[in-house]
Structure formats: structure tokens, C-alpha cells
Amino acid sequence: MAKYLVLAMTNPLPGRDSEFNEWYDRVAIPAYASLPHVRPLGRYRSVPHDGYEFEMKDIGFEYLSVYEIETDDLEAAFSEVRVALAKATEEGRYHFSQAIDKGRFFEPVFVQI
């Protein structure tokens, strides 16, 4: 079975860090952990450093959430995830945060080699 990593790179809207982080901790992570094929691996915040020739701020994302997906059919797994997330939304267990900067959102998917 193939393993994939989803890297959710996000930013909160200005001044809404607390709301953004509370939503992730109390709403998003519990909801994502209940989705088929999905395993949350952790959340991270970029930090300035002198270890490389560039700083993380140059990438333009403050936060990173990492999820593992294990499946033989990625498109089918994503379809199941969408259905489960819609059900969680209908049941009031999930909603998308209004504190996320929707203009700066990047979610690449990588397959293990």
C-alpha cells in the first residue's frame, strides 16, 4: 500500500493567530484524525534561523500541518475523505476556520519512494 504525505501550508489572517491555532487544536485535528486513510502527524510553526541561506519567511507560510495517507488509490481515498468531511460538517463536528488566510494556502501531496 502506498504512503502519501499531505503538507498543509497555511497562514492565519493578521491578528488571528490564537483563533487559528485553537481551531486547529479543537476542531481540525480531531476531525481529520477521524477521516478514513488520514493520520495527522503534527503541526509546526516556521522559525527564523541562520542555518541556511534563506529564512522560512521567504517561503511565505507560517504554519505547516503534516498528514499521512495510506492507500492503493489516492483519488478514491480523497473522495472518501471529502464525503466523511462533509458528514462531519453536517454533524457540526467540523467547519473551515474563518481565521485562515484563504489567499495563502498550499497543500502539496507527496508519495513515498
Query: What is the tens place of the pLDDT at every residue in 89-111?
Result: 999 999 999 999 998 889 999 99
Q: Which amino acid is at 35?
A: L
pLDDT at 48 over 90: no
- The pTM for the full model equals 0.88
Asked if 48 and 57 count as a contact pair (C-beta separation under 8 A), the reply is: yes
Q: What local confidence, expressed as pLDDT, does residue 59 receive?
A: 67
Provide, rounded to the nearest whole percent, the portion of the chain with pLDDT above 90.
Answer: 83
pLDDT at 4 over 90: yes
| Domain 2-111: CATH class, spelled out | alpha beta
Q: Which amino acid is at 81?
A: V
pLDDT at 58 over 80: no
Q: What is the mean pLDDT of the chain?
A: 92
DSSP structure class, residue 29: H
Mean pLDDT of 76-80: 97
d(CA 36, CA 90): 17
Mean pLDDT of 73-86: 97
Give the CA distances from residue 94 to residues 7, 51, 62, 91, 101, in Å, rounded to whole numbers and listed in that order.
Answer: 20, 38, 23, 8, 18
Q: What local confidence, expressed as pLDDT, does residue 60 receive?
A: 81
